[in-house]
Amino acid sequence: MRIAAFAALIVLGASIVPALASSSPWTEAQGANLRLVTTGVPDADGKLRGALEIQLRPGWKTYWRDPGSSGVPPAVDVSGSLNIAAAEVSFPAPKRFPDEFGGWAGYDGPVAFPVVLTVADPSKAAVVEAAVFLGVCESICVPVQATLDVDTGGDPQNTDDASVVAQAFANLPAEADKVFGAVAATIAGDKLTVEAVVPGMPEQAELFVASADGYSLGAPERAIVDGRLRFVVPVFDQPKAAPAGVVLPYTLTTPSGAVSGSLPLD
């Protein structure tokens, strides 16, 4: 959905319910409520698993990692945290929402984005101050900024929080392989051609490719040529000289499941 006009940026810090264990309070925004949940306990490598939960109101949507020409994907900044060095967000399989500009990828229901937080020193306490920036849209996009705070030592054995996080990670696409995934990707001129294999129903497969490393991509068009599944992706912008080792993240979906991987460009 293209942004016809940006609504005023909504900066949120107040919660609507008290803090719950190893999760932040729910924060209310136009079109959605959001919170950050963690397991409260990092593993031996200092990785603390969490989930950014978004409860969308009816008729509202939010965006995938590549939201199209004008969307706002979710981003998490933990630079203001205590003993937290980094945050990595993962994305469940999205849907395609067509529009007059070629469509965009996102979600139209409750969604939880898995987050892996890196604890700098696992032997010390960690307090997460996550500055979250994302977009939600109904007829226009509303950029939302919120600060979600979690004291990881508040209730580190909370089973409800652990269940939310486990389900978020379980909902991620599986890792692509030779029987379900992209098998070749080439760019010629302004088109990226991707060949893929899926376990049945190729006519219902959908491909989502994220722009990266100077590449700007459009919505793929699916075709079955000589029994082989192929997608042609418009390339709007690309570097004059392709950077070495460039890979483009992708998700491939069918009605029976989804996988994610990276496209190495030939």
Query: Which among 138, 156, 171 is the end of a domain?
Result: 171
How far apart CA 192 and CA 186 sit, in angstroms, is: 6
- Whether 85 is in a domain gets the answer yes
Each residue's pLDDT tens digit, 185-212: 998 889 999 999 999 889 999 999 998 8
pTM: 0.89
Query: Residue 99: its pLDDT value, please?
Result: 73
- DSSP 8-state symbol, 3: -
Each residue's pLDDT tens digit, 30-89: 999 999 999 999 998 999 999 999 999 999 999 999 987 778 899 999 999 999 999 999
- Whether 61 is in a domain gets the answer yes
- Whether 127 is in a domain gets the answer yes
- Whether 132 is in a domain gets the answer yes
CB 38 within 8 A of CB 22: yes
Each residue's pLDDT tens digit, 202-255: 999 999 999 887 888 888 999 999 889 999 999 988 887 766 666 899 999 999
Q: Which amino acid is at 195?
A: E
**Residue 89 lies in domain:** 10-171
165 and 95 assigned to the same domain: yes
81 and 118 assigned to the same domain: yes
47 and 145 assigned to the same domain: yes
Cα 204-229-217 angle, rounded to 5 deg: 85
Query: Which among 145, 171, 197 is the end of a domain?
Result: 171
Residue whose C-alpha is closest to residue 15's, from 148, 125, 141? 148
Q: What is the total count of domains within the chain? A: 2
Cα 36-41-45 angle, rounded to 5 deg: 110
